[in-house]
Amino acid sequence: MAISKPVRQALLAGTIGLAAALAGYGVARLLHSRSAPSTPASTAADFSLPDLAGKPHSLADWRGKLVVLNFWATWCPPCRGEIPGFVRLQQRYGHAGLQIVGVSVDDPAAVAQFWQTMKINYPLLLADDSVYDLMATYGNREAGLPYSVVIRPDGGTAATRLGAYGEKELESLLVPLLPQNHTPKN
């Protein structure tokens, strides 16, 4: 049974329309998740992960500080792109109680080389299999990277973000939350 040309064209147009609608929905969800950070009311989840020297660290190590917990990887271009801004923010506001902590979902040798190359001035921790559960606890159920969690000095979660932060955008979020003097260091 042959399908007439007008019916084929209508089926093709319908298929293209459905594909476009689904793609638009997917893009809208992606853009929405990358727009303004969400503000969950939950308390930050603790963890224990090793640094590049193998020393274990937990979130409690930075209690009383404003923490930006950033999940990233060296093979992730948006992750690599936001790290220079993190370095500058740590330099500028570390004295005022800011602590950026990177959790790398990556090969330790690649992380160590990247740390040296980029002159990263904040702790880098190495993820293990538990990191995906940790990210999900913080709202990143897709395990996408980069993913950042801003944790207030009182331990509450102030914001989460899937996607890279711009330096100025993150700075404007962090400065009002700093526990000490807000004057940046040059």
* Residue-level pLDDT at 180: 77
Q: What is the token pair recorded at 83?
A: 């790290």
Separation in Å, CA 103 to CA 48, 115, 166 = 11, 12, 19
Cα atoms in the Cβ-side hemisphere of radius 13 Å centred on 113: 8
**Residues present in the chain in total:** 186
Separation in Å, CA 180 to CA 20, 67, 168, 173, 177 = 50, 13, 19, 15, 9
**pLDDT tens digit string along 149-163?**
999 999 999 999 999
**pLDDT tens digit string along 31-59?**
334 434 443 436 788 899 999 999 999 99
As a whole number of angstroms, the distance between CA 162 and CA 26 comes to 15
* Residue-level pLDDT at 31: 39
Question: Residue ranges of the chain with pLDDT lower than 50?
Answer: 14-15, 17-41
Listing DSSP states for 75-87 in one string gives T-HHHHHHHHHHH
Per the CB < 8 A criterion, the answer to whether 83 and 118 are in contact is yes
- Backbone torsion region of residue 71, taken as left when φ is above 0, otherwise alpha when ψ lies between -120 and 50, otherwise beta: beta
As a whole number of angstroms, the distance between CA 136 and CA 90 comes to 26
Residue type (1 letter), 138:
Y
- Backbone torsion region of residue 148, taken as left when φ is above 0, otherwise alpha when ψ lies between -120 and 50, otherwise beta: beta
* Residue-level pLDDT at 138: 93
pTM value > 0.85: no
* Residue-level pLDDT at 45: 86
Per the CB < 8 A criterion, the answer to whether 127 and 104 are in contact is yes
